[in-house]
Amino acid sequence: MAEGLTQSHDPFAVSRLAPESAKRMVDLVNRTVAHETALKERIAIVRQGERLTERLSIGQDEGWFRPMLNDLLRQGISVVVNDIPISEAIAETVSRQTNLPAEWITQQNLYITPGKSQGFDPHCDPHVVAVAHLFGRKTWTIFEKTLDNPVYDADTSTIAGKGETLPVRTTVTVEPGDCFVIPRGVYHSAVALSPASVHLAIGVAGARPIDYIWAMAENAMHDSRLRADRTPEAALRDARDFVRGFAFEPVALPRFARVPAPADLNGDRFSFEDVLDALPSH
């Protein structure tokens, strides 16, 4: 297994997914969203960087996704479905495309974006993102700005400031079956071309030394002796003893369960292509 990330010469080069891999991804997405009861808590909606998810109210258990998707896209709102299951085949494909171990995949989220609209403000992600483009076209802007190995924490903003001007490094326009990699910490934004676009954003991250240190600190917080008032020397001695004696557990990879694609629901086969094909182009 690779010890670290191998950087290719052109980090934003677009590669093509094998047609059967792209088809498998589309099929997995359609089967997943067809199971609507399991979908409610995984949906997020956003318009031009503004998160609107708390305004969503989904009454019914079944039959709501298709009309809702249609409605939101017509209002220029992007729909995100988090935690699309990751199959063995998809993990292998992503690993091949990114040159990163399949075990490093952390999550797979679906983005459905209406034409001419930008779902998110320029931002960077605290992990490598493999983009698998499934429907329509989308232009990605990659900015010069980077953060050095960012993580999500209270002190770091991964979103560009409002009104901040970011020099553009390159743009990438992708179509169905295209795949490219956004390195960790590189700022980017994207605009869907009319009428809509769909892609999977697949997060890839190894284990990080800092995760162990955080886990240790969190563990220490639960130990009343380590929160006690002591002299500086006594406190230092106890802290050293704790660190020396701490039993680290290796991070278990992969973080996701490799699951078979959800069963096809007979009779009501969902197809995002049908919903998006019916949207007006403008």
The residues of the shown chain that bind Fe ion, judged by CB under 5 A, are: 125
Alpha helices in the chain (DSSP H): 19-34, 65-74, 88-98, 209-221, 232-245, 272-277
Please, which residue, 36 or 125, has the CB nearer to Fe ion? Answer: 125
Residue whose C-beta lies closest to Fe ion: 125
Q: In whole angstroms, how close is the CB of 242 to Fe ion at the nearest point?
A: 38
Q: In whole angstroms, how close is the CB of 72 to Fe ion at the nearest point?
A: 20
Alpha helices in 35-143 (DSSP H): 65-74, 88-98
Please name which of 27, 142, 1, 135 lies closest in space to residue 90, comparing C-alpha atoms: 27
Please name which of 64, 184, 86 lies closest in space to residue 128, comparing C-alpha atoms: 184
Please, which residue, 77 or 201, has the CB nearer to Fe ion? Answer: 201
Please, which residue, 125 or 178, has the CB nearer to Fe ion? Answer: 125
Signed CA dihedral, 44, 48, 50, 52: sign only: negative
Cα 25 → chain centroid: 15
Measured from the Cβ of residue 147, the count of other Cβ atoms closer than 10 Å reads: 17
Measured from the Cβ of residue 185, the count of other Cβ atoms closer than 10 Å reads: 18
Please, which residue, 71 or 153, has the CB nearer to Fe ion? Answer: 153
Q: In whole angstroms, how close is the CB of 280 to Fe ion at the nearest point?
A: 28
Label residues 101-128 b or e (16+ Cβ within 10 Å = b).
ebbbbbbbbbbbbbbebbbbbbbbbbbb
Please, which residue, 25 or 190, has the CB nearer to Fe ion? Answer: 190
Q: In whole angstroms, how close is the CB of 120 to Fe ion at the nearest point?
A: 6
Q: In whole angstroms, how close is the CB of 145 to Fe ion at the nearest point?
A: 13
Please, which residue, 50 or 241, has the CB nearer to Fe ion? Answer: 50
Q: In whole angstroms, how close is the CB of 65 to Fe ion at the nearest point?
A: 24
